[in-house]
Amino acid sequence: MNADDLGSPRELTGLQRRRALYQPELPPCLVQGTRIRVEFGDSTTTIDSKCADIVAQAFPHIFGQKLVRFLEPHMDTVVSESDAQVIQENSPIRVGVVFSGRQDRLWKLYLGRSSLMDPHVTGG
């Protein structure tokens, strides 16, 4: 690749064209509005316990946090402590993601969710 190639239009392969058309569906729990039902699981860990210190140093804010599974909200049922936690707030939800590839899918999910909340959000 030459410096002259940067910014030049190029032809996309068939696979690249198909990937550009991909529109992920939002999980039902993110389409339902501000009422979110979550279930907390085990704490994050490593497969090999010898690596735990290295991973904990690399990801100090997320390593050891509980895994969260988003569930579809059930508006008509009472949630007990043993079941799941219902969060109904207008404040932002902080979600941590470790990127290991396929960031384009996460970006499209973000755009899909953002467009539900703010019709002025666009991406490209």
The pLDDT of residue 124: 45
C-beta of residue 46 within 8 angstroms of C-beta of residue 55: yes
Alpha helical stretches, state H, the chain: 14-21, 28-31, 52-58, 103-117
Name the pLDDT band for 68 (thresholds 50, 70, 90).
Answer: confident
pLDDT tens readout for residues 70-122 = 777 665 554 444 556 666 656 666 666 666 666 666 666 767 666 655 555 45
Dist. CA 103–CA 105, nearest whole Å: 5
pLDDT tens readout for residues 13-37 = 888 888 888 887 776 666 666 667 7
pTM: 0.41
Alpha helical stretches, state H, 24-97: 28-31, 52-58
Nearest to 123 by CA among 8, 23, 11: 23
* Mean pLDDT estimate for the chain: 71
Torsion angle, alpha carbons of 71, 77, 80, 83, to 10: -30
Of the chain, the percentage scoring pLDDT greater than 90 comes to 6
Average pLDDT over residues 57-70: 87
